[in-house]
């Protein structure tokens, strides 16, 4: 076995196929020569995927990015990256090459990327395929905030429920408090700005194997496979704290806002709707108990008193 591993690592360095492995934090842990050359990585370097994309974008090399705002592109891509077991797509590099990239995920968040150069293959119909891919991406993305939308998130709930008992997890429904009053007071546009602020703040705390998306209005969900109710509460608790601290309106530096959340754990026999409805009921209890807090499904006690 050891001999095979040694031969493999030699072959990996030789092959023109690009090979890389990212860990559960989306940090590059291995890249062969071809991958390092395409994405300008020094041997032994282990950047986070986001930092790698950012620095290549700044230096006008690496992946071609079709977006006016890089950070928004990054958030949007991260909200869907590595959330499905397997993905394959065409991607282009600023040096003019086209790659057929595949991503294979493990439940612990490690990802294997393998890409082949397909520059000369079916080049004439590439524009059509690219349009199709952009349309698919748009169909999974919330237009206002750039994160995953209801359709994508519901798919990830189904995925979570289909996995074995060992990796089942929790669902949280997050809803901004008193949002109607915020709209009434400051106008719809400011309301939209707060929705975007909420997305950015919460997104920063979403774990790589979890999926965060907007399902409508000021309601968001967080799908947390492989996470216990207690762990889920800790994660959402951090989100409560960061959102309470946010001051999104430069013209009103003392304005702050809050949200409430209901969290439910997967049960045997659950379908997406039954799980969602328990999380939603817990959310309702959190609202009734005074907002700005978390309520866990199945517990009458208040999990997070509004501590300001």
Which chain residues interact with Mg ion by CB under 5 A? 175-176, 179, 218-219
Q: What is the dihedral of CA 225, 231, 236, 240, to 10 degrees?
A: -170
Q: Is position 185 an interface residue for ligand GH3 (rule: CB under 6 A)?
A: no
Q: Looking at beta carbons only, is 203 or 214 nearer to Mg ion?
A: 214
Please give the Cα distance from 227 to 213 (Å, whole number).
Answer: 17
| Contact with ligand GH3 (CB under 6 A) among 10, 16, 85, 217 | 217
Q: Is position 66 an interface residue for ligand GH3 (rule: CB under 6 A)?
A: no
Q: Is position 26 an interface residue for ligand GH3 (rule: CB under 6 A)?
A: no
Binding partner of residue 192 among ligand GH3, Mg ion, none, CB cut-off 5 to 8 Å per kind: ligand GH3
Q: Which of 7, 143, 218, 230 is catalytic?
A: 218
Binding partner of residue 219 among Mg ion, ligand GH3, none, CB cut-off 5 to 8 Å per kind: Mg ion
| Contact with ligand GH3 (CB under 6 A) among 66, 188, 238, 267 | 188
Q: How many CB atoms lie within 10 A of CB 217?
A: 12
DSSP per-residue string spanning 59-102: TT-SB----S-HHHHHHHHHTTTT-SSEEEEEEEBTTS-EEEEE
Torsion angles phi and psi, residue 154, rounded to 5? -65, -35
Tokens of 76: 């949007």
Q: Is position 184 an interface residue for ligand GH3 (rule: CB under 6 A)?
A: no
Binding partner of residue 197 among ligand GH3, Mg ion, none, CB cut-off 5 to 8 Å per kind: none
Q: Is position 244 an interface residue for ligand GH3 (rule: CB under 6 A)?
A: no
Piece of 85-93, 130-138, 176-184, 293-301 that binds ligand GH3 (CB under 6 A): 176-184
Please give the Cα distance from 264 to 302 (Å, whole number).
Answer: 14
Residues 86-106: b if buried by 16+ CB within 10 A, e if exposed: ebeebebbeeeebbebebebe
Q: Is position 142 an interface residue for ligand GH3 (rule: CB under 6 A)?
A: no
Q: Is position 192 an interface residue for ligand GH3 (rule: CB under 6 A)?
A: yes
Instruction: List the interface residues with ligand GH3, window 279-298 (CB under 6 A).
Output: 287, 291
Torsion angles phi and psi, residue 187, rounded to 5? 100, 160
Tokens of 180: 């109607």
Please give the Cα distance from 39 to 101 (Å, whole number).
Answer: 13
Q: Looking at beta carbons only, is 218 or 280 nearer to Mg ion?
A: 218
Is 13 an annotated catalytic residue?
Answer: no
Piece of 45-53, 147-155, 173-181, 237-245 that binds ligand GH3 (CB under 6 A): 173-181
Q: How many residues bind ligand GH3 (CB under 6 A)?
A: 17
3-state secondary structure at position 16: coil
Residues 148-187: b if buried by 16+ CB within 10 A, e if exposed: bbeebbbbbbebbbeeeeeebbbbbbbbbbebeebbeebe
Q: Looking at beta carbons only, is 109 or 191 nearer to ligand GH3?
A: 191
Structural element, H or E, at residue 126? helix 126-139
CB of 289 to ligand GH3, least distance (A): 12
Binding partner of residue 235 among Mg ion, ligand GH3, none, CB cut-off 5 to 8 Å per kind: none
Q: Looking at 124-210, which runs of residues are DSSP E strands?
A: 148-149, 170-176
| Contact with ligand GH3 (CB under 6 A) among 26, 103, 142, 218 | 218
Q: Write out the catalytic residue numbers.
A: 218
Q: Which positions touch ligand GH3 (CB under 6 A)?
A: 144, 175-181, 183, 188, 191-192, 195, 217-218, 287, 291
């Amino acid at each position: 076995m050891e001999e095979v591993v040694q031969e493999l690592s030699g072959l990996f360095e030789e092959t023109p196929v690009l090979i890389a492995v990212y860990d559960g934090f989306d940090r590059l842990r291995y890249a062969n020569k071809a991958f390092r050359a395409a994405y300008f990585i020094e041997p032994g370097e282990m950047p986070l995927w986001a930092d790698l994309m950012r620095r290549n974008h700044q230096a006008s090399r690496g992946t071609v990015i079709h977006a006016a705002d890089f950070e928004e592109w990054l958030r949007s891509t991260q909200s869907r990256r590595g959330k499905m077991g397997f993905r394959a797509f065409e991607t282009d590099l600023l040096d003019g090459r086209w790659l057929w990239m595949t991503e294979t995920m493990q439940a612990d968040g490690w990802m294997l990327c393998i890409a082949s150069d397909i520059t000369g293959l079916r080049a004439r119909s590439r524009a059509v395929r690219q349009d199709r891919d952009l349309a698919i991406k748009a169909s999974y993305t919330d237009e206002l905030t750039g994160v995953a939308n209801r359709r994508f998130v519901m798919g990830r709930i189904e995925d979570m429920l289909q996995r074995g008992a060992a990796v089942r997890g929790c669902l949280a429904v997050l809803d901004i408090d008193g949002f109607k009053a915020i709209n009434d007071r400051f106008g719809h546009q400011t309301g939209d700005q707060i929705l975007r602020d909420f997305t950015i703040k919460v997104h920063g705390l979403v774990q790589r194997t979890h999926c965060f998306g907007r399902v409508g209005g000021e309601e968001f969900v967080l799908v947390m496979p492989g996470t216990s109710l207690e762990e889920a509460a800790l994660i959402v608790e951090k989100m409560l704290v960061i959102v309470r601290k946010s001051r999104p309106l430069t013209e009103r530096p003392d304005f702050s806002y809050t949200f409430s959340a209901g969290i439910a754990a997967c049960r045997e026999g659950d379908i997406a709707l039954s799980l969602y409805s328990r999380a939603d009921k817990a959310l309702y209890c959190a609202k009734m108990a005074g907002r700005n807090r978390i309520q866990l499904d199945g517990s009458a006690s208040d999990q997070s008193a509004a501590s300001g």
